[in-house]
Amino acid sequence: MPPRPRREMTPDEEYSRKLSYILRHGATKEKLPIREDGYLSVAVLLNRAGIKGKWNLEDTKRVVRDNDKQRYKLIFEPTEKQPQEPTDPNDCTGYWIRANQGHTINTKVEMKALKSPEDFPTLDIFHATSKQVLPIVLKEGLSKMKRQHIHLATDLVTEGGSVAGKRLNREVFIYVDVPKALEAGIEFFLSENGVVLTEGKDGKITRDLFSKVLDKKNEPIDLEAFA
């Protein structure tokens, strides 16, 4: 049976993909003046090759507002010359945009520190992966790899009515023992869009800090098979 043809991206999806690359990974490489807190001037963004002339401020507002995972944050910062938001829809003065999480570039995005189990929105925090990767994770632990953090979803974060991360291409859900991890000195933070982030210890969360490993049907996976 021939593979199903891939659906073409909508203009908003294409723009969101470009935003994700620039704000999470590419700004420094492209020498765009991204701030330490992860914000980039919308005026600079809209002047970038590949974006200039294709999208505008209204498109940016819509993509930020309608993104199902709330990946981005758009703010207006008043100045003496521009104390209020411009009425001209093409005037980007004072607008700044950032990605809420997922950076590989060095940023200090404001996040809420989770210092005790009571600070967490839920203790059921997990990382979704595939069966092919599971043996490596069990041996080496969850790794932040090239990103700043390991990303952990919660049962309170939903995407289209389902738990974030529990998509069809994910078969394994590794839950972290929050109290035990905190006792081990691991720091956790909550991003603005509800994702729990951690650098782990030496960039990893090791197997001894896993509380359970489940499949898509919420059934325990026999880890002896991966010993």
3-class SS at 137?
helix
Q: What is the pLDDT of residues 187-200, one digit of tens each?
A: 999 887 788 989 89
Q: What is the pLDDT of residues 51-92, one digit of tens each?
A: 999 999 999 999 999 988 788 999 998 877 777 888 887 889
Which domains does the chain show, CATH number per domain? 11-99 (1.10.10.970), 112-226 (3.20.170.30)
Q: How confident is the model at residue 42 (pLDDT cuts 50, 70, 90)?
A: very high
Q: Read off the tokens for 29.
A: 């490489």
Answer yes or no: pTM beyond 0.75: no
What are the b/e assignments for 136-158, b being 16+ CB within 10 Å?
ebbeebbebeebbbbbbbbeebe
Is residue 168 predicted with pLDDT exceeding 50? no
Residue 124 to residue 60: CA distance in whole angstroms: 34
